[in-house]
Amino acid sequence: MTAAIEVEGVSKRFRLYKEKYTSLKERILHGGKIPYHDFWALQDIDLEIAQGETFGIAGRNGSGKSTLLKCIAGILKPTDGEIRLRGQLAAMLELGAGFQPELSGRDNIYLNAALLGMSTREIDKRFDEIVAFAELEEFIDNQVRFYSSGMYVRLGFAVAVNVDPDILLVDEVLAVGDERFQQKCMRRIHEFQQQGRTIVVVSHAVDTMRQLCNRVAVIEAGQLVTVDSPSNAIAAFRDTLLAIGESDAIPAIEDDPAGGTSGEPQRSGATRRVTLSGGRLETTVDRPKLYPGEAATVVVDIDAKEDLRGVAFGFSVWGSNGSLIFDYDSGQAVDLPKGRSTIRFHFDAVPLLDGTYSINVRVQDPHGGVVHARLEPAATMQLQNPGTSTGLISLPVRLEVAHEHRPGDPLLAEQVTT
């Protein structure tokens, strides 16, 4: 398949100045030289994006993904390497990019469309369509500096998608604006996909990439980590965040005696009567990440210093952002003999989607109240969603399509289980 975008050995260097000399005396004393150090925002990036492909670029803040997009758009010139494009390009890189705040919305449409290669006659033909898409009929002759952030995005996106580009570059702007306009933008993106246009999306919203993209590249510290399917690339992105201690770093939350949370981390808990240790996750798969619907078991070792009568067990599942996903109390009193025992919490089908989750385990009074011991986290569970579903949980769905029954024709029905 023909490549729409070829990125070959691209690197981009910026000079970061530590000091700034403002007076003529300072400049003379230092020989006109201002001390700086080189910062490489991109290092030897190689990518090939096929015509008609929707390609995502993921990375944390400062990783270099927006710099790469600006190099592709021609706004920045690479220090090394070469970028080749085939087709007309339109870019929506940041809020208000290319707008002149003192001009009206009408004038900015003509200015931006002209910069994207449209003639005045072509703009005249599409002007009403651009304004209607942006929903700015009442404000189109007002100065852009009076526009809200949402109005900025609507106008900029409306211009970009109405120049009929062969290649569309989109940087984070799909996450700006109200929900209805976001849906409108997504519908237009899907139209572009059906028309075989090439789209490059930079976003922190991994669910958006999973829905839109054929492939995703992950960039960290200016270097290309991987280019893979959305599912595998998102998993690699999460692994990168875990390795540097961001985003998916799992918080440990301590249960207080009343069953709430104190906010102080506690990796293990013990009283004089019982201790929990050796928490682990057991699965039947030979990979580090579970898929939604697969089975798992949390195992914890117990060391009772004396016979315990009438205790119960509980666990809680916490998301990577510290949110409580699920809390469970067995509510059933059991006796624990003195010595070592093992408890297992079995999940026949884990219903969670993408993410890293911590599981905290506790031994408590069956009526709540006193917590005798706790282990936090007892285990960490990583989920990778190989499909296109988004959200927090995976719900089994059976889809049935029944075609209209016509006299003399058998009733046709199709069922799909997902």
Report DSSP letters for 262-327, one per residue: -----SB-B-SSEEEEEEEEEESSSSSSBPTT--EEEEEEEEESS-EEEEEEEEEEE-TTS-EEEE
Share of residues in the chain with pLDDT > 90 (%): 23
State residue 263's pLDDT score.
34
Residue with tokens 């929900």: 179
30, 51, 278, 322 from 83: Cα distances, Å? 38, 15, 53, 42
Give the global pTM: 0.62
Say if residues 346 and 396 touch (Cβ distance below 8 Å): no
- Block residue for tokens 């944390």: 60
Task: Count the neighbouring beta carbons within 10 Å of the beta carbon of residue 280.
Answer: 12
Please, which residues bridge with residue 50 across strands?
3
How many Cβ atoms from other residues are within 10 Å of residue 99's Cβ? 20
DSSP letter for 388, please.
S
Domains of the chain: 3-243 (3.40.50.300), 250-418 (2.70.50.60)
What are 299's two structure tokens?
A: 């195992």
Instruction: Supply 23's token pair.
Output: 């007076």
Q: Which residues of the chain carry a pLDDT beneath 50? A: 247-271, 417-418
How does pLDDT run across 164-210, given as a tens digit for each residue?
Answer: 788 988 887 665 556 677 777 778 888 888 888 999 998 877 777 87
Question: Is the bond into 165 cis (omega within 30 degrees of 0)?
Answer: no
Confirm if 254 and 376 have CB atoms less than 8 A apart: yes
Do the beta carbons of residue 358 and residue 252 sit within 8 Å?
yes
Q: At what angle do helices 179-194 and 149-161 cross, to 10 degrees?
A: 10
**Residue whose tokens read 């100045």:** 17
| CB burial string 110-126: b at 16+ within 10 A, e below | bbbbeebebeeeebeeb
Residue 357's closest CA among 298, 317, 315, 300?
A: 317
- Tell me which long-range contacts 125-130 makes (C-beta under 8 A, separation of at least 24): 126/162, 126/163, 129/162, 130/158, 130/159, 130/162
| 180 CB burial (10 A radius; 0-12, 13-18, 19+) | exposed
Q: Cis before residue 377, ω within 30 degrees of 0?
A: yes
